[in-house]
């Protein structure tokens, strides 16, 4: 090998680094560059170099020779001893990185079920009331024909002889043993020779299910409901996935939501605004009568306390805000026109329009 990298540089430590510093640097780098965890193309080479550097520098005798003679001082290379590595990483991490056949919590070939994510439309009425709502969707389910084994009846899967059913094989990675998924059975530990016709051997089929989902009162756009284990089924003992329902608020013909408040706009006529009146407004509980005070200006907001939405965390209920919009009459009948003209002709004597008066006064000041 030409010009091998300096071991101290490889580990990023000073030449007088003590054993603890070496160990710490090695541990960090080995975790960072482990090829199973780092997909960069040079990760494997870096990983090997890190191991090689540590093998030498962690051995006082080899380190002394390396310091005096450089790479030439070392004949033959060996990886760090397994006992040393266990010491550096602790048992569990050692198994992961250097792959003894750690006993795994799940069977070989076990796979988690897929999570399912769905938009979940709710109306403001449903948000207000809370309660249950049905959702129908498709998810993966265990194939009933083969009971999830993936094999035709009478043709049980055979244990993979390449990995002895472990699903993983030990390979030499540079000079360190590592464990990787068995290429023969693709990690399943077994080989299906005669695949089930219903699921084509993967043990899963699509099913349509309908679930009743609790909808918390006051929930809103963008919230997510999670139902543990209601996603797709796993295979060979793998856990099922979860169901995530992403709340989408349906548009309402009257209301816009502002947090826990509801806002609605109600058109009223000019005489209703001027004279005052009782009008009907929509609420989530049905129609309500609301008093419009005389002399109401367009845009005035009336507040109906407690007629909004319940707070999702149980902090009471919001209000309903009724914004009054005065609608100017159009397509006047001759009689309406007559009356309005008469009204306008009287406004000089009795303006009763404070904003207009102040506007006209300012205009006069500026230009007359």
CA distance 154 to 146: 10
CA distance 203 to 148: 4
> Quick one: which of 13, 88, 116, 146 contacts Zn ion (CB under 5 A)?
146
Q: Which of 109, 114, 144, 110 is nearest to 230 (CA)?
A: 114
- Contact between 182 and Zn ion (CB under 5 A)? yes
- Contact between 152 and Zn ion (CB under 5 A)? no
CA distance 315 to 333: 52
CA distance 360 to 135: 61
CA distance 176 to 346: 101
> Quick one: which of 123, 145, 239, 298 contacts Zn ion (CB under 5 A)?
145
- Contact between 243 and Zn ion (CB under 5 A)? no
- Contact between 185 and Zn ion (CB under 5 A)? yes
- Contact between 184 and Zn ion (CB under 5 A)? yes
Q: Which is nearer to Zn ion, 157 or 231 (CB)?
A: 157
Stretch that binds Zn ion, among 67-75, 82-90, 162-170, 285-293 (CB under 5 A): 162-170
Stretch that binds Zn ion, among 69-77, 80-88, 191-199, 247-255 (CB under 5 A): 191-199
Q: Which is nearer to Zn ion, 146 or 322 (CB)?
A: 146
Q: Which is nearer to Zn ion, 4 or 165 (CB)?
A: 165
Using alpha carbons only, give the angle 259, 260, 264 rounded to the nearest 5 degrees. Answer: 90
Stretch that binds Zn ion, among 25-33, 176-184, 253-261, 309-317 (CB under 5 A): 176-184
- 254 with 264: CB under 8 angstroms? yes
User: Coil, strand, or helix at residue 209?
Assistant: strand
Stretch that binds Zn ion, among 33-41, 140-148, 211-219, 336-344 (CB under 5 A): 140-148
Q: Which is nearer to Zn ion, 34 or 190 (CB)?
A: 190
- Contact between 163 and Zn ion (CB under 5 A)? yes
Distances (CA, A) of 67 to 54, 55, 59: 14, 14, 12
# binding residues, Zn ion (CB under 5 A):
12
CA distance 26 to 12: 9
Q: Which is nearer to Zn ion, 149 or 272 (CB)?
A: 149
How large is the greatest C-alpha to C-alpha distance in the chain, in angstroms? 115
Query: Which residues are near Zn ion by CB under 5 A?
Result: 143, 145-146, 160, 162-163, 182, 184-185, 196, 198-199
């Amino acid at each position: 090998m030409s010009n091998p990298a300096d071991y101290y540089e490889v580990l990023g430590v000073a030449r007088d680094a003590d054993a603890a510093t070496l160990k710490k640097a090695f541990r960090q780098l080995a975790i960072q560059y482990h090829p199973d965890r780092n997909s960069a193309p040079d990760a494997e080479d870096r990983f090997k170099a890190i191991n090689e550097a540590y093998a030498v520098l962690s051995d006082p005798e080899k380190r002394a020779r390396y310091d005096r003679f450089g790479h030439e001082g070392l004949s033959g290379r060996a990886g760090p001893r397994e006992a040393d590595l266990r010491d550096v990483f602790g048992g569990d991490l050692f198994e992961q990185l250097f792959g003894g056949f750690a006993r795994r919590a799940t069977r070989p070939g076990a796979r988690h079920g897929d999570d399912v994510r769905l938009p979940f439309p709710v109306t403001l009425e449903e948000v207000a009331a809370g309660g249950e709502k049905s959702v129908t969707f498709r998810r993966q389910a265990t194939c009933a024909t083969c009971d999830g084994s993936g094999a035709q009846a009478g043709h049980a899967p055979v244990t993979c002889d390449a990995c002895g059913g472990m699903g993983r094989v030990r390979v030499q990675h540079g000079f360190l043993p590592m464990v990787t998924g068995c290429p023969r059975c693709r990690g399943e530990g077994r080989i299906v020779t005669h695949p089930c016709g219903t699921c084509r051997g993967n043990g899963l089929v699509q099913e349509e299910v309908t679930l009743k989902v609790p909808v918390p009162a006051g929930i809103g756009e963008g919230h997510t409901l999670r139902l543990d284990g209601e996603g797709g089924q796993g295979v060979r003992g793998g856990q099922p996935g979860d169901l995530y329902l992403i709340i989408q608020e349906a548009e309402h013909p009257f209301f816009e939501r502002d947090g826990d408040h509801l806002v609605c706009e109600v058109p009223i006529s000019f005489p209703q605004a001027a004279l005052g009146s009782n009008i009907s407004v929509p609420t989530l509980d049905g129609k309500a009568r609301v008093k419009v005070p005389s002399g109401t200006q367009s845009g005035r907001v009336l507040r109906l306390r407690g007629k909004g939405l319940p707070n999702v965390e149980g902090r009471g209920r919001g209000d309903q805000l009724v914004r009054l919009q005065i609608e100017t009459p159009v397509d006047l009948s001759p009689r309406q026109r007559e009356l309005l003209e008469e009204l306008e002709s009287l406004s000089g004597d009795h303006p009763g329009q404070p904003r207009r008066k102040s506007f006209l006064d300012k205009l006069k000041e500026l230009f007359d």
